[in-house]
Copies of this chain bind each other. A is one copy, B any other.
Amino acid sequence: MLGARRLLGALRLCSSVSCPRPRASAKLRVRDALGVQDASGECVTVQGWIRSVRSQKEVLFLHVNDGSSLESLQVVADSNFDSRELAFGSSVQVQGQLVKSLSKRQNVELKAEKIEVIGNCEAKAFPIKYKERHPLEYLRQYPHLRCRTNTLGSILRVRSEATAAIHSYFKDNGFVHIHTPVITSNDCEGAGELFQVEPSSKMKVPEENFFNVPAFLTVSGQLHLEVMSGAFTQVFTFGPTFRAENSQSRRHLAEFYMVEAEISFVESLQDLMQVMEELFKAATEMVLSNCPEDVELCHKFIAPGQKDRLEHMLKNNFLIMSYTEAVEILKQASQNFTFTPKWGVDLQTEHEKYLVKHCGNIPVFVINYPLALKPFYMRDNEDGPQHTVAAVDLLVPGVGELFGGSLREERYHILEQRLARYSGLTKAYQWYLDLRQFGSVPHGGFGMGFERYLQCILGVDNIKDVIPFPRFTHSCLL
């Protein structure tokens, strides 16, 4: 299957002769077959699953998909082939000649000479029905089969492309990739309830710990990235993070992916915001250019209007407002909020939504939050009378908070004082203080929820539909 283009080139050389039946022909991915310009009877073999069957008097049309693209390859066969065996969902191997299609709907088609059914698919028992567009909620019941639908296929290809795009953005800009640990002994970052980890045989003897200390699933790679930012000026991580929260919301999962970056020698939130905006735009442009059909499918069937909303986000400069300004805007709003906006209190989802709308649906950075609302590591702005820290959240249409970041407190004594306020933390975080004792630098970073990013660009309403195997309270299928 590898090196298909080279194979096809070689085949071309002998394609004027007709295709001798028993000869092994080149295996081609559907995506590569569809991309062939001026097909002229090359002998190829295509393997995949039947997405549709249409039997006419003289001919039989099949559409074969192998997941390499949304589009399937049209196979045209003699009506002698027994179409009863060629059921929706069955896997097949088709050998034949790649020819120009007479129809305008596709560029090439495969004139079948041999169709072999590899694995049957019994229509009655198969939860995915031919020609039906199943709601996403229905498909969620079948995490092992839903990837065989067009919609989930497209979403997962976009997820794969977006992953690659994010890695390549960071690589191209000189960031070092770090695998921050999943299991950690840091337990007090204040980011919601934690999952604890022990060998299954020791679950009933909680006084003994495998790691000698209680160990948890990470809620963020930030502190570990900060370690690395004392040696590499630009680092990033892209891995799973966890929250043990009892939430069934369309925006939360117990296991989700975060893209996190940490940059040394930054001195203002401006530097961070520039990277966040660039990352968002560069990754999205790359996805749009690498899998336009998959994105289009979502924009067409899942979220009509999303195409325009996304273009609007991409072509405008993101906006910036302070938390204090945001609260003022909310106070003056004609809308009645469930939670009354007030300085010193967290913004709620309803507030975030209002702010984004207020900004004409352009993503907006909200900066400089009250010190009392934020964790110990955020850099003190030393302002007054309303004491703030250099924190930043990016709010985007539809999703709300997409990025969160801050400058970190790099000054030993200020950090020490703040840790001391949380009794006991100074000892547990001595290593974190050490980072400020030995060649400390001003630094900052951010995290982006990867699933929320996918929801944002595709317009997918429920976070459970943009991750292959969603985990949340009461549910861990497979």
Contact = CB atoms under 8 A, between A and B. Distances in A.
Contacts of A386: none
A435 interface: yes
Given A122-B438, A195-B197, A67 B231 contact: yes
A265 interface: yes
A78 to B, nearest CB: 23
Nearest to A223: B478
Contacts of A438: 89, 119, 121-122, 125-126, 145, 148
A449 interface: no
A239 B240 CA distance: 9
A279 to B, nearest CB: 11
Interface size bracket, A side: 35 or more
B47 A233 contact: yes
Interface string A153-190: 10011011001100100010110111111111111000
A330 interface: no
Given A153-B231, A263-B1, A183 B255 contact: yes
B176 A160 contact: yes
Contacts of A339: none
Q: Which of A122, A176, A204, A263 has the most CB of B within 10 A?
A: A176
A227 interface: yes
Given A233-B48, A240-B179, A475-B211, A194 B199 contact: yes
Contacts of A93: 265
Contacts of A217: 182, 197
B254 A183 contact: yes
Interface in A437-478: 437-442, 467-469, 471, 473-478
B224 A468 contact: yes
Interface in A374-396: none
Contacts of A440: 91, 118-119
Interface of A: 1-2, 4, 27, 29, 31, 47-50, 66-68, 89-91, 93, 118-122, 125-126, 143-145, 147-148, 152-153, 156-157, 159-160, 163-164, 167, 171, 173-174, 176-187, 193-201, 203-204, 206, 210-217, 223-224, 227-228, 230-234, 239-240, 242, 244, 254-255, 257, 263-265, 274-275, 278, 410, 431-432, 434-442, 467-469, 471, 473-478
6 contacts: A1-B174, A49-B230, A148-B439, A153-B232, A197-B197, A200-B244
